[in-house]
Chains A and B, each alone.
Chain A
Amino acid sequence: MTLSAQISLRLGTLDLHADLDVKPGELLALLGPNGAGKSTVLRCLAGLAPIDSGRIALDDIVVDDPSTDTFVEPEERPIGFVFQTYLLFEQMSVLENVAFGLRARKTPKADARRSAREWIEGVGLAEYADQRPRSLSGGQAQRVALARALATNPRLLLLDEPLAALDAGTRSSVRRDLRRHLETFDGMRILVTHDPVDAYALADRVAILDAGRIVQVGTLAEVTAHPRSRYVADLVGVNLVTGMVTDGVLTTDAGAHVVIADAPPGASFAVIRPHSISLAREPSERSSARNAWNGTIADIDRLGDRVRVGIAGELPLTAEITVAALDALQLRPGDDIHASVKATDIEVYPA
């Protein structure tokens, strides 16, 4: 089974235009900052939020298409949903929670309970079957939510920030468990997260959602090797410059020039790594660096023995220097500074 979704939706300040394709058995992580529209994408797929325009299809079954007035109710979609806060039903036991989906689909009570018990055993919570969800820890509640979602045998499993409600101490062990349980499920899975560690540990492929747009899709290694958004560049910790390349020079919208080694002309991204930037008080006439920009120091952040220096100017940059260099230069916020980079240290790829 495959998922093909073109989602357009306006919701409050969110303007969502996201195209997603998920292959059979694949786990796609939807990674992006808060407010990017990640959870809304899941709600659209589940039918909890109808789309304004576009089309959502599972294989050849269209579940949402406003142009043909097609809308399949959430309960009719072959979808499982694990919510961020798990949303277990407090007035039911763990067993009843997991059996709920089967009971709702008119499975006889005895069969539903037997199947639910198997699922609960599968996630290692057999001794909690008759307890109320309130007595569970966060990680246990997550496993119950997962078992409850999977018990109805969905073809597409949606997980909304399944690790965000946990404290840092338990997160890594729960993540390991989650990975193991997710591997036993052979359907499609979409995981929403704002933590690249989750995406790295769990996902086959990553889609970056930023401000309602999918800006990049690929494996996490591909995505982070060639960032195509400010969000990913910040995650990786590099400077991302966008502009037009003509005759070996990239010109930004703000008019800054970046001399590059060699790249085909056209709209391009350039990545400048913070540690390849040299800082100087005075411009140096004799340098192999082809690029030199003037700016002022906006902020200074010490990270162990490294220092990140934010530079404001025509080309905003973050440079990384040693504490010794900082002391030698006596830098303070507001100081004028010259930043230089060798053209060969800049990586350029088409936008």
Chain B
Amino acid sequence: MSRRRRRGRGRGRRVSLPAPVLALAIVAVVFFALPLIGLLWRAPWSNAWHYLSGDDALTALRLSMVCSLWATGLSVVFGVPLAWLLARVEFPGRGVVRALCTLSMVLPPVVGGVALFFALGRRGIVGQYLDRWFDLTLPFTTTAVVIAQTFVAMPFLVITVESSLRQFDLRLEDASRTLGASRWYTFRRVTMPAIRPALAAGAVLAWARALGEFGATITFAGNFPGTTQTMPLAVYLSLETNPEEAIVLALLLIAISFAVLVGLRDRWFGRIDRPMSTVAA
């Protein structure tokens, strides 16, 4: 990655970009920067600390963090085996299963929330039994937030890990076995380290998606401060009542996401790129 980028930069210095291309690219950059500038411009800087340290904001932030980390954890626990299945096991209908498991990436989140509601709600296909047998009601609970976030976030992890498993040279596992390593030891010491950068990248993507989750959460879990009102919901709600608070909370979310992207980019995404560029070279 770093090598490729350096080469790219060198080329940029020598070959000038055609003016129309450059103009369009600048428009694109402005398009992404403008909303941020708009928020920064309207931000009530003198009152910012007041809003951030307020109970509502802290509660929503804490809930967002807890739920999104749970969702990320669940995505890893179930997503890695799922990626394994999709990458390694040939079975009829694999393409359909893959489409099914990644559908929520392209589905409008509200639709996902509605679907979850009719599956796990009190009168849902599974929910009615949870209610009857275990006295368990999921909708409008913090658990529902985690489920909604996992539902939309896990595919990001699955496709990242699956593609890395597909690139992995299976003969390395053969080599490990002939050296006396069991299947489990081989998985831990040979396969896992090779897919770890992809796993980390997938987990970050899934976490970011879970943190920003709005539609499925509000549909399936509702909007109750303290139990289901995450940051995006709090932003949306306070836009009606207190736009200044909405701006501050939005900026906080942006700051967190931006910090994660910038901070992890070179560390994790860079590591994924490097072996690829070696192969290409």
A contact set with B: CB distance below 8 Å = 43, 46-48, 73-75, 77, 79-81, 83, 85, 87, 89-92, 100-101, 103-105, 134, 148-149, 152
Contact indicator per residue, chain B 14-25, by CB within 8 Å of chain A (1) or not (0): 000000000000
Q: Which residues of A sit under 8 angstroms from B179, Cβ to Cβ? A: 75, 80-81, 100-101, 104, 148-149, 152
Binds A, one of B132-140, B148-156, B181-189, B202-210: B181-189
Say yes or no: A89 contacts B178, CB within 8 Å.
Answer: no
B273 CB to nearest A CB, Å: 15
- Out of B169, B182, B185, B189, which one reaches A87, CB within 8 Å? B169
The docked-state distance in angstroms from the alpha carbon of A342 to that of B172 is 57
5 A-B residue pairings within 8 Å (CB atoms): A73-B177, A81-B175, A89-B189, A104-B176, A149-B179
Task: Kindly list chain B residues whose C-beta atoms are within 8 Å of the C-beta of A83.
Answer: 171, 174-175
Chain B residues in 8 Å Cβ range of A46: 174, 178
- Tell me the smallest distance from the CB of B184 to a CB of chain A, in Å: 10
CB distance from B126 to the nearest CB of A (A): 40
Total A-B residue pairs with C-beta atoms closer than 8 Å?
69
CB pair B193 A100 closer than 8 Å? no
Is B177 a contact partner of A75 (Cβ separation < 8 A)?
yes
Contacts of B180 in A (CB 8 A): 75, 101, 104-105, 152
Residue of A nearest to B178 (CB): A81
Closest 9 CB pairs of A and B: A101-B179, A104-B181, A81-B178, A74-B177, A87-B175, A91-B193, A104-B180, A105-B180, A75-B180
**A98 — nearest CB in chain B belongs to which residue?**
B179
Does B66 touch A at the CB level, under 8 Å? no
Is there a chain A Cβ closer than 8 Å to B105's Cβ? no
Chain A residues with CB under 8 Å of B174's CB are: 43, 46, 48, 74, 81, 83, 87
Task: Return the chain B residue nearest A85 by Cβ.
Answer: B171
Q: How close is A61's CB to chain B, nearest CB, in angstroms? A: 16
B178 touching A79, Cβ below 8 Å: yes
Q: In the docked arrangement, what's the CA distance between A129 and B174, Å?
A: 23
User: Roughly how many angstroms separate A230 CA and B275 CA in the complex, as a whole number?
Assistant: 43
Chain A residues near B172 (CB-CB < 8 A): 87, 89
What distance in Å separates the Cβ of A227 from its nearest Cβ neighbour in chain B?
34
- When C-beta atoms are compared, the residue in chain A nearest to B172 turns out to be A87
Interface positions, chain B 141-173, Cβ under 8 Å from A, are: 169, 171-172
Q: Collect the chain B residues with CB atoms within 8 Å of residue A134's CB.
A: 278
* CB < 8 Å neighbour of A104 from B169, B182, B193, B275: B182
Q: Whole-angstrom distance between the alpha carbons of A214 and B280 in the complex? A: 40
The answer to whether the Cβ of B194 comes within 8 Å of any Cβ in the partner chain is yes
B212 CB to nearest chain A CB (Å): 32
Bound Cα distance from A104 to B188, whole angstroms: 11
Q: Does B253 contact A (CB under 8 A)?
A: no
Closest to B192 in A: A91
Task: Determine the distance from Cα of A219 to Cα of B177 in the docked complex, in whole angstroms.
Answer: 32
Q: Besides the contacts A75-B178, A79-B178, what 11 more A-B pairs have beta carbons closer than 8 Å?
A: A46-B174, A74-B178, A83-B175, A87-B169, A89-B176, A89-B193, A90-B194, A104-B179, A105-B180, A148-B179, A152-B179
